[in-house]
Copies of this chain bind each other. A is one copy, B any other.
Amino acid sequence: MSTKPFLLISNDDGYQAKGINFLVETLRPVADIFVMAPDAPRSGAGCSITSAVPLTYRVVRSEPGLTVCACSGTPTDCVKLALGEVLDRRPDLVVGGINHGDNSSVNTHYSGTMGVASEGALQGFPAIAFSLCDHRADADFTPLRPYLVDLVMKAIAMGLPPFTCLNVNFPLRPRFEGLRVCRMARSRWTREFERRRKPGGGDYFWMTGECIELEPEAEDTDRWALAHGYVAVTPTTLDATATGLIDVLSGRL
């Protein structure tokens, strides 16, 4: 049996996307890899799951140290199916990405790439998500290469506390200023739809929009780091309790 670490990788752009294939090729020399990724793009899948219809998957690539499967479900489904029904070896790390597009700040909640890392953490594994702030299908991932290996190896060596994972976003630059550990910035999407007219009458709506920074001056956020050329590493918790509100509300409800 291999002594290399074992990685479970998924994404939301689908198993054929450039980002996940770059990630696999970059990590292959240092890890055994199992990919269970959606069979087509599932951008914006968040932590969604599929319960109304059954799931299927098929093996699309099988080589020493690398298996790739394409699954009919969401990114979260992929992680659940791999861990629950397919793998007979416990991964040392669950990895999401590399996403084509920014998953910092509030995008965390919509991101299927973060859905992968979130599910890994919920299932008790160290987990990390990688995203590049470039949504183009042919985005250039080469500047990320040394960071990917380094962060994966460190995450495995350190481990992570239960119910936490790492959200790593790379700015669109040919080289990076270094790495910053950040908090999630507060931002808000606005003008989110482009309204068009149906040929037969009535409107339809394409999601689009722009993200407004609510605290652009704060230097400790992921958005600030990205805007200044740094790789943003945001430690993320799956415990969503607003702890500070418990006592406040207890006296008022």
Chain A residues within 8 Å of B, Cβ to Cβ? 41, 43-52, 54-56, 74, 76-77, 80-81, 84-85, 106, 108-110, 112, 115, 118, 122-124, 151, 154, 158, 160-164, 166, 179, 181-184, 186, 188-193, 195-196, 202-207, 220, 233-243, 245-246, 249-250, 252-253
Contact = CB atoms under 8 A, between A and B. Distances in A.
B49 A164 contact: no
Nearest to A118: B109
Given A186-B239, A239-B186, A253-B154, A44 B55 contact: no
Given A77-B207, A240-B240, 19 more contacts: A44-B48, A44-B49, A44-B50, A45-B46, A46-B46, A46-B76, A47-B47, A54-B206, A55-B193, A56-B203, A76-B110, A81-B193, A84-B191, A109-B238, A154-B252, A158-B252, A160-B245, A235-B241, A235-B246
Contacts of A204: 54-56
Nearest to A124: B188
Closest 4 CB pairs of A and B: A235-B245, A237-B242, A235-B242, A44-B49
B84 A184 contact: no
B233 A240 contact: no
Residue from A108, A191, A242 whose CB has the most chain B CB atoms within 10 Å: A242
How many copies of this chain? 2
A205 B56 contact: yes
B234 A192 contact: no
B246 A183 contact: yes
A105 to B, nearest CB: 10
A2 B97 CA distance: 49
B48 A52 contact: no
21 contacts: A46-B46, A47-B47, A48-B74, A51-B206, A54-B206, A56-B202, A81-B205, A84-B190, A108-B240, A123-B188, A154-B252, A158-B252, A161-B242, A161-B245, A181-B253, A183-B239, A183-B246, A235-B241, A235-B245, A237-B242, A238-B240
A47 B111 CA distance: 9
Contact of A45 (B48, B205, B246, B250): B48
A202 B69 CA distance: 14
Contacts of A190: 84
B253 A49 contact: no
A95 to B, nearest CB: 16
